[in-house]
Amino acid sequence: MQLRNSSGAVVGSGTASPWFLAGTVDQAFVATSDGTCAVTSSGTKLPTSASVGQNGPYVTATEYAGCSTLDNVRGPISSGTRTQTWSVNSIEGGTYACLHTSRVDFFTTTESDCVQVVDARGNLGGGVRVTLKDANGVTTTLSN
């Protein structure tokens, strides 16, 4: 995935691959394209239903410099923590299910990923909103 500015220049790119415990919805760890790895230290299942205004914890993880033992020859090197929470929000008159991630290492960065929910069965609409706050405190919101 690449993030481009209005001139078309790439201003950020990468992927995150969550891995789940077999047969569950429990997140075990997340491997990222920059070579770091976040290993879950605690977590809860997401609720099967929620209303606008509700929120709660999801996953807390410790980030490491690498995802394999070869990356950590002298033992795992912690590079920070990652905390994820969920919420159901009203955004511009629509209902959105959101996942919020806060990453703390030398700096704190946050990301909120929200998708529109159109009915009580959880069917998704076309609305998406991503809000990023970088280490300099600059907030960028992308939506359709």
The pLDDT of residue 86 is above 50 = yes
pLDDT of 31 = 63
pTM: 0.72
* Separation of alpha carbons 125 and 116, rounded Å: 5
Q: How many CB atoms lie within 10 A of CB 32?
A: 15
Indicate the number of domains in the chain.
1
For residues 44-65, give the mean pLDDT.
87
* Separation of alpha carbons 59 and 80, rounded Å: 14
Q: Which of 74-83, 104-113, 127-136 has the highest mean pLDDT?
A: 127-136
- Could you tell me the pLDDT band of residue 4, with boundaries at 50, 70 and 90? very low
For residues 103-118, give the mean pLDDT.
90
Quote the strand ranges of the chain, DSSP E.
Answer: 2-4, 10-13, 16-20, 27-32, 37-43, 55-64, 78-91, 94-104, 108-117, 124-133, 139-143
Alpha carbon of 3 to those of 8, 15, 42, 111, 138: distances in Å?
9, 11, 30, 14, 15
For residues 74-86, give the mean pLDDT.
76
- Could you tell me the pLDDT band of residue 3, with boundaries at 50, 70 and 90? very low
The pLDDT of residue 72 is above 50 = no
Q: Which of 9-18, 67-76, 91-100, 115-124 has the highest mean pLDDT?
A: 91-100
43: amino acid identity, one letter: G
For residues 45-50, give the mean pLDDT.
86
* Separation of alpha carbons 79 and 71, rounded Å: 13
By mean pLDDT, which of 20-29, 50-59, 64-73 is the weakest?
20-29
For residues 122-138, give the mean pLDDT.
91
Q: Which domain holds residue 22?
A: 2-143
